[in-house]
Amino acid sequence: MPKLGMEPIRKAALVKATIVEIGRVGSLDVTVSQIAKRAGMSSALAHHYFGSKEEMFLAAMRHILTLYGAEVRGALALADGPESRLRSVLAASFSATNFRREAVGAWLNFWVLAQTAPEARRLLKVYQRRLRSNLLAGLRPLAGDRAEALADGLGALIDGLYLREVLKSGPPDRAAAIATALNYLNSQLEGAAHAGAAEGQSFR
């Protein structure tokens, strides 16, 4: 039966299966055998293609980030004007895709993994930088030099809202999350309009 050119197909199947299994179990405590079985092959073959379980996890994480990136790009392509761009980023961040069990499991566990696996941390940083840059593109025309601060706050708010929606029992309310984020934006932008230029908000 051995057809050639199996490698990409097998790898893709394993990545998908890895994400599904992590979502099913809710932790990184999944066995290579489970993953391989779901992907329709022996565990030996999984090792053959990925070398180690950790490599599988990292490939899965890359895949999740790629999906998210594609979703953002897709939404941005239809946007015109800064406000529309911001809305697109929010829509993508709170898309139904990101609330599927697999995606949730992946994100939560990748945060844990990022604590100790340098490559995972690197990937997470890539995601955050991209999100930040997308937000900035929409914010700069609206907020000028306050854009940086707003982007940081909004980025954190997005993560926090996601976390809460995901951990609460019952179905997540994506619209409410988006509304809260938009509300943050509106009030910050109104504030800038009233105050005129930037004013140093000194903490402490």
Partner DNA sequence: AAGTTTATTGACTCGTCAATCAACAAAAAC
Partner DNA sequence: GTTTTTGTTGATTGACGAGTCAATAAACTT
Interacting residue ranges for DNA, rule: CB under 7 A: 1-7, 10, 30-33, 41-45, 47-48, 51-54
How many angstroms separate the CA atoms of 126 and 65, rounded?
9
Assigned token pair, 152 = 């940081």
Q: In the stretch 163-192, what mask flags binding to a copy of itself with x, by CB under 8 A? A: xx--xxx-----xx-xxx-xxx-xxx-xx-
Amino acid identity, position 165: E
Q: Which of 105, 130, 196, 197 binds a copy of itself (CB under 8 A)?
A: 105
Cα 36 from chain centroid (whole Å): 25
Q: Which does 156 bind (CB under 5 to 8 A by kind): a copy of itself, DNA, none?
A: a copy of itself
Q: Which does 7 bind (CB under 5 to 8 A by kind): a copy of itself, DNA, none?
A: DNA
Q: Which does 2 bind (CB under 5 to 8 A by kind): a copy of itself, DNA, none?
A: DNA
Sign of CA dihedral 98, 103, 109, 112: negative
Assigned token pair, 77 = 């392509």
Q: What angle do CA 177, 183, 188 make, to 5 degrees?
A: 135
How many angstroms separate the CA atoms of 184 and 83, rounded?
13
Q: How many helices (H) and strands (E) does the chain have?
A: 9, 0
In the complex with a copy of itself, which residue's Cβ is closer, 73 or 125? Answer: 125
Amino acid identity, position 46: A
Q: Which does 197 bind (CB under 5 to 8 A by kind): DNA, a copy of itself, none?
A: none
Give the interface with a copy of itself as residue ranges (CB under 8 A).
25-29, 104-105, 108-109, 111-116, 121, 124-125, 128, 149, 152-153, 155-161, 163-164, 167-169, 175-176, 178-180, 182-184, 186-188, 190-191, 194, 201-204
